[in-house]
A = this chain, B = another copy of it.
Amino acid sequence: MCEHCVTLSPRGDKQAVEEGALFMPKFDGAGLITAIAVDANDGQILMVAHMNQQALEKSLASGEAWYWSRSRNELWRKGDTSGQIQTVHEILVDCDQDCLILKVTVAGDGGCCHTGRRSCFYRRVDRKTDGPVTLSFTEGPRSR
């Protein structure tokens, strides 16, 4: 299966999008769709990133996660420099087909976040009654 064999269907009507069995991903005004990478073993949410059509096609074709980097403005195979390659075991799509969940296993040191942590979601928002809203760390820094 090569990238060029992947055929994404054009958007249909609401019924086709929500109840149909064709993949009709919706890319936003910038040509991107949101992708949530989740650990395939324990379900932890690891990171949220974006794919353009080419990244999505490459991910489907290769079974490894490709994203579009909004900061670097480039196609990006996750782990190319860090070794944290993501093998994609399953992709889920939501009702209006504008968001994806990727169930992945991570190579290298198993991390996902550029800060060196396993997950990008390492801080909890505190609820308090006055002053600025603060954060509590749920995972400390890692060596990076």
Contact = CB atoms under 8 A, between A and B. Distances in A.
A11 interface: no
A51 interface: no
A6 B133 contact: yes
Interface residues of A, number: 56
A132 B23 contact: yes
Nearest to A114: B95
Given A18-B115, A99-B48, A101-B121, A7 B132 contact: yes
Contacts of A121: 92-94, 101
A5 B130 CA distance: 6
Given A23-B125, A141-B19, A8 B133 contact: yes
A122 B95 contact: yes
A136 interface: yes
Identify which of A124, A130, A133 gathers the most chain B CB atoms within 10 Å of its CB.
A133
Given A8-B133, A125-B93, A48 B36 contact: yes
10 contacts: A22-B135, A23-B125, A23-B126, A23-B132, A38-B45, A60-B125, A91-B124, A93-B125, A95-B115, A96-B120
